[in-house]
Chain A
Amino acid sequence: MPNHSAHLIACHECDLLQREIPIPLGGEAHCCRCSAMLYRSSPGTFDNTLAFAMAAAILFVIANAYPLIGIDIQGNTNATHLFGAVRYLWDHEMLLISILVGVTTIVIPAIEITMMLYILLPFRFSLVPIGVPNILRVLQSIKPWSMIEVFMLGILVSLVKLKDTSTIIPGVALWSFGGLTLMLAAVASSFNPRDVWQRLDNISTRENQHE
């Protein structure tokens, strides 16, 4: 292990130079000037994050494979999948909205979950997949655009709006989206990129010692 007490870091929000100090498990280090969180020591292991990511992957597939909501107006029924909704907008000349919804609720969450598994699954077997730095970079930049939790609220508001005029038939995907929202929140709170960098650092120091 490198001696971290000697390391300097700069706050990402105010650029203040500070010494990196060891913190207890589950603790957080905050910038002494602007109080931004500098780093944390996660109590969970990569295994926890992997479990949440796998659950998220399964729920994501179910959420996209089954109908979201159906309605029944005087015996006439209609149901939709998420992809069906995106497709519908695309077919009806609302390309921009269709792309916006498709990217933020299907494409980005799918990339996020896949990349998480790509890093964490090999870690479970003490392997290091190639291209981890690039993947962490992509994960960081797409993070603001994954909006499953906002979509979940959108579903709830839609249900209320539909309640008045029609009978609602809740689909399997409705519950899966609820679960997916929780799992993605769990992944986000247990995944600590700093641990990944540290593991990569440790491996490269070990390799240097062997040489």
Chain B
Amino acid sequence: MNSQWTTAAEQGLCSCHVCGLLSKMPPHDHPGHCSRCGARLHGRKHDSLARSWALLIAAYLLYIPANLLPIMETGSLLKHREDTIISGIVQLWKTGFEGIATIVFIASIMVPLFKLIALTLLLISVQRRSVWLIGQRLRLYRLVELVGRWSMLDIYVVTILAAVVQIRSLATVTAGPGAIAFGAVVVLSMFSAIYFDPRLIWDPLQKERIV
């Protein structure tokens, strides 16, 4: 890698996360504020790894009930049905909506799983101060940020169906307990990605350890 590259942290500078203005890094015991916009200054996001890990582990735990418990309960005159995320997708596929089934599969199964695994990989590699595939790992982080929100899809579908399909005794839809767990997985993993500081991926390249 190019040795002439200098980071702001090496020069004792830090950029404001709101307006981008460069300022002198405030001393540790003395929190500083950006002179232009007043935002709190920090060289790296505060406690980035610990917070990101905590939220990620919580998301892993909730991922289990999110997939095992039903997220939607459908009732009609003849039958009562409980659908988990997967059985809902299978049902869509069987009734001939392969395209929609694929979209839901990507948003509800692939994206959450991808996010959890990608964040784990990022956190472990940053903790080991790895210089392995730095560019690729940054791209991975950008992808996590980009796709995370789309997992909310199933929550919205359940909400709309539950509110619309309320025709007494003919058809009812309610949200199941799995929906809460699934919503929590989405929110927790989004927060985990927000707390992760991508600059930590690059820090091992600089000679001095930045705390």
Give residues in A with beta carbon < 8 Å to B: 8-10, 12-17, 33-34, 36, 39, 68-71, 73-74, 76-80, 84-86, 88-89, 92, 94, 96-97, 100-101, 104-105, 133-134, 136-137, 140, 144, 147, 150-151, 153-155, 157-158, 160-162, 164-166, 193-194, 197, 200-201
Instruction: Kindly identify which residue among A78, A137, A144 contacts B37, using a CB–CB cutoff of 8 Å.
Output: A137
- Contact A137 B39, CB 8 Å, known A150-B153, A197-B19: yes
- Contact A86 B159, CB 8 Å, known A10-B7, A12-B15: yes
- The interface residues of chain B lying within 8 Å CB-to-CB of A160 are 92, 97, 100
Least CB distance, B52 to chain A, in whole angstroms? 15
Interface size class of B (residues with CB under 8 A): 35 or more
- B179 part of interface (Cβ distance < 8 Å): yes
Least CB distance, A118 to chain B, in whole angstroms? 16
CA separation between A153 and B154, bound complex, in Å? Answer: 10
Interchain CB contact under 8 A, B183 and A133: no
Chain B residues 154-174 with CB under 8 Å of chain A are 154-168, 170-171, 174
Give residues in B with beta carbon < 8 Å to A: 2, 5-9, 11, 13-15, 17-22, 36-39, 92, 95, 97, 100, 103-104, 107, 135, 138, 145, 148-150, 152-168, 170-171, 174-175, 179-180, 183-184, 187, 190, 194, 198-199, 201-203
Interchain CB contact under 8 A, B103 and A153: yes
4 A-B pairs closest in CB distance:
A154-B156, A85-B163, A10-B8, A133-B37
CA separation between A158 and B148, bound complex, in Å? Answer: 20
Interchain CB contact under 8 A, A78 and B165: yes
- Contact A79 B164, CB 8 Å, known A133-B36, A160-B100: yes
Interchain CB contact under 8 A, B153 and A144: no
CA separation between A99 and B165, bound complex, in Å? Answer: 20
Interchain CB contact under 8 A, B7 and A17: yes
- The interface residues of chain B lying within 8 Å CB-to-CB of A133 are 18-19, 36-39
Interchain CB contact under 8 A, B22 and A10: yes
CA separation between A152 and B4, bound complex, in Å? Answer: 47
